[in-house]
Amino acid sequence: MNIDLLGYRQKVGMGQVQVANVLGISHEEVCIYEQKPETVPMGLLEKWLGIFGLDIATAISASTPPLKGIDPGTPYAELYHKLNLLNQYIDASHPVGKLDIPTPPATPHDLKKQLKLYKQKPNLALTGGFDAGKSHLANALLGSKNLPVGYQPATRVITFVRHVEDRPEWFKQDVLVFDENFWLKDESGKPIIDLLLLDDKERCEQYCLQAGNFHILQKYGVHGSNDDVAAHAAVVYIDSPLLKACNLIDLPGYSDQPNEVSKDVEKATSAAQIADILLYASPAKGHINGQDMIRLGGLLRLLPAPETECNNFPTLGNFFIVATHADPSISDHQLKEISDKASKRFYKNLSETVLERRREKTNRAITEAEVRERFFTFWSERPDRCQHLFDELTNILGDSLPQARICRIEREMKAIKEDNTKKYTSLIDTYNTSIADIEAQNAQRSQLSVLTENESVRQQENKLKRDNVRKNIDKLKKNTRIDFQKYTEELLNVDAVEQIIRQKYDDKKEAQEYLAGYLVEKLQNELENLMKENSEKFRTELDTFFQGYPEAEFNGYKSGEHTNSKNFRFDWEASVMGAVAGLSSFGALAAWAISFGNLGGYILVAKFVSFLSALGVGFGFSGGTAGIMTLVAAIGGPIVLGIGLSVTIGLAVTNLWSSWTESWQKHLAKKVVKYFDKQSVCEQFLKVIDKFWQDTSDGFEKVADVVEGDWNKYLDHQREIISPTIESKDCIEKIIEILKVNRDFFAGIPWSNIKYQC
């Protein structure tokens, strides 16, 4: 390390003898170390720098030029060019009036809003423990020194780092710091992180705490200064090659306290949900401890799977575990051994749960060797300890991820163009028939007459059906609780835990460190299984309820019976899609919504694509598969338990040999079971179950209200267009005119595929 110990000493006016006395070493050793600072042992160096009021990270940052940041190129240049041309096509399209019909199809304006989502760069999120050196790593990737670093917990805000070319024209500063109210909130009051808001001038001005140069970030973005200011996040604009291919998100560190409850943890957890690529930093010494392991399980559950979009995407290619602080005191052999052991532990603890779910989702075998490939090292002064990480990130950001994202967008654009053209064509045919076909008109009037006469009966039946749905939700909630409690009793008893220890852990310390996290993983995995199983049962209930609208029978008369095939039909699917997409909490409705066969026609409905993205659902329309919903997605984040994830708390190693009459495995099992019982772990999971089904109930009521409202609009519209008056005919002709313009717009979308093999 090229740390100028001599310069620091001279700056404070100390002599070599003074330094030697403070450090407890000889004057000669001080002289030698000042000439060769790279030979100073790490512990001594930390103490030495403390004399000058410095820590290691600050000294390294000040004494060495930044690494050349990674340069993935401009992988989205062609995509952005096509999106800009499409924007011009939209702007040049002939404006038409509002289509005043029930559940109207998408419009050019809806497509324009969707293009803003397509222009968003992927998010590279850096997370990990409070002392893992994330900001130092971020600066190295950026090739800058703009993010504050420190040996103690530094970052206290979510820091969004964007390229200067992404800075809005109205914002002239480098840094903007804002409070939590900047974000929209879900029904639980948790912030919804939406980077599109960073371009909203009015919102930024309203919730801005400070704006200015990079000193603002040092002043308000780190612990120890202005902690009384309720800063939540900051956006930073930097000219870095990395940012041509992604946004970088530097998250506050996870607390080292066992309860994992702090404002920093809440911020890190909320922002991690928008990560497209995740870098988890953990110091090389003590790499991937018990707390790291349980965090990694939750984070991996949230991470999208580009493998489902593109066969060429590497397995787990957007997941990086980085051994930071890989300093020269650790030999190359030791460093390799550290990563080998950590990856082996990771695979052992998570293979049965989150990795198995990833296998199901991607239809790929995830082997221990493939997991090992996701472990990297970092020490900024040793390029050989950074290069593999930099090279792999460059490949993922510059090639693999752009290919997957572009393949996804092209599938969506194909669906948008084809499905909306078909929908407009079908509506045009229906309205034309309504004008020209006397028999069809009579059938419509007959149908409406029956529907109107029986509307009060339908409403009563609808009320009974809604009551039945509520009762079934309560029943499913009760069953989920009972089944989970039964599983917990089977898992968390002394004999079962002892058996797990004997099967999985040969080493006492490893068992002590990782057993609690493994058990929590097992509980979470079983809860997801139960949620999925009961959500499947709920799907049938919902299908029956909502399909009752277009297929309702009144006194033996079935709506649509004896009518022309082009007769008007209530589009309950579109109504449901718009309603579900507008929810902030889904519960079992999430699994139901993504079960619809062809979702292409709904991409532009109420940001439905954003809803599906939040659930980690790929858009493989041609395959007819929607993906696998996880509990984490449905409840809006990983389950954060208030338990000591490393049960060394209250389980000192010496205690494991306190009894000569039983094995250490039995003794540890007793301690763990007692500890989990004391922490009321089962009860904490039951709260999650209760919230899941409460979200389901609340969401169902809101969706049912929306669909009922759309049904009434449908009836009103039918009355309007079947009236044998000139006004009715004029109304239909105006509707047809608008439909034709929009049909031609979608049919004429100028889009040719970028040459990628998906």
703 with 579: CB under 8 angstroms?
Answer: yes
pLDDT score of 690 more than 90: yes
**How would you class 112 by CB atoms within 10 Å of its CB: exposed for 0-12, middle for 13-18, buried for 19 or more?**
middle
Locate all alpha helices (DSSP H) within 143-241, ordered by sequence: 201-207, 214-220
Q: Which one has a higher pLDDT value, 551 or 691? A: 691
Residue 447 or 204, more confident: 204
Measured CA to CA, the distance from residue 22 to residue 282 in angstroms comes to: 32
What's the pLDDT band for 256 if we cut at 50, 70, 90? Answer: low
Give per-residue pLDDT as tens, 58-89: 776 666 555 688 999 999 999 999 999 999 99
Q: How far apart are CA 485 and CA 480, in angstroms?
A: 8
Question: What's the mean pLDDT in 566-582?
Answer: 77
Asked if the model's pLDDT at residue 434 lies above 80, the reply is no
The CA distances from residue 14 to 17, 37, 55, in Å, are 8, 17, 18
Query: pLDDT digit string (tens) for 95-114?
Result: 888 888 888 888 898 899 88
CATH number of 5-54: 1.10.260
Q: How many CA atoms lie within 13 A of 192 on its CB side?
A: 17
Which of 480-484, 561-565, 742-746, 749-753 bottoms out in mean pLDDT, i.e. has the lowest? 561-565
Q: Which range, 121-130, 179-188, 437-446, has the best average confidence (pLDDT)? A: 121-130
Convert the pLDDT of each residue in 27-43 to its tens digit: 888 888 888 887 888 78
Say yes or no to pLDDT of 556 above 90: no
The proportion of the chain whose per-residue pLDDT surpasses 90, expressed as a percent, equals: 39
Give the best-scoring range by mean pLDDT among 143-157, 207-221, 262-276, 330-344: 330-344
d(CA 754, CA 414): 12
Q: What is the SS3 assignment for 163? A: strand
Q: What is the pLDDT of residue 255?
A: 65
Enter the DSSP assignment of 181: G
Q: Which pLDDT belongs to residue 550? A: 55
Identify which has the larger pLDDT, 609 or 57: 57
The model's pLDDT over 345-397, given as tens digits with 9 standing for 90+, comes to: 999 999 999 999 899 888 999 999 999 999 999 998 888 899 999 999 999 99
Q: Among 3.40.50.300, 1.10.20.10, 3.40.50.2000, 3.40.50.1370, name the CATH number for the domain at 77-410.
A: 3.40.50.300
How big, in percent rounded to 5, are the helix, strand and coil portions of the chain? Answer: 60, 10, 35
Judged against a pLDDT cut of 80, whether residue 665 lies above it is answered with yes
Q: Which residues contact 430 (CB under 8 A, 6 or more apart)?
A: 566, 567, 568
- Sign, Cα dihedral of 609, 350, 643, 159: negative
Compare 10 and 560 and report the one with higher pLDDT.
10
User: In the chain, pLDDT over 70 holds for what percent of residues?
Assistant: 81
For residue 261, pLDDT over 80 is answered with no
Length of the chain equals 758
Rounded-to-integer distance, Cα 648 and Cα 661, Å: 22
Tell me the pTM: 0.83
Least confident of 138-147, 149-158, 692-701: 149-158
Produce one character per residue of 446-481: b if its CB has 16 or more CB atoms within 10 Å, e if not.
Answer: ebbebbeebeeebeeebeebbeebeebbeebbeebb
- Residue 111 identity: L
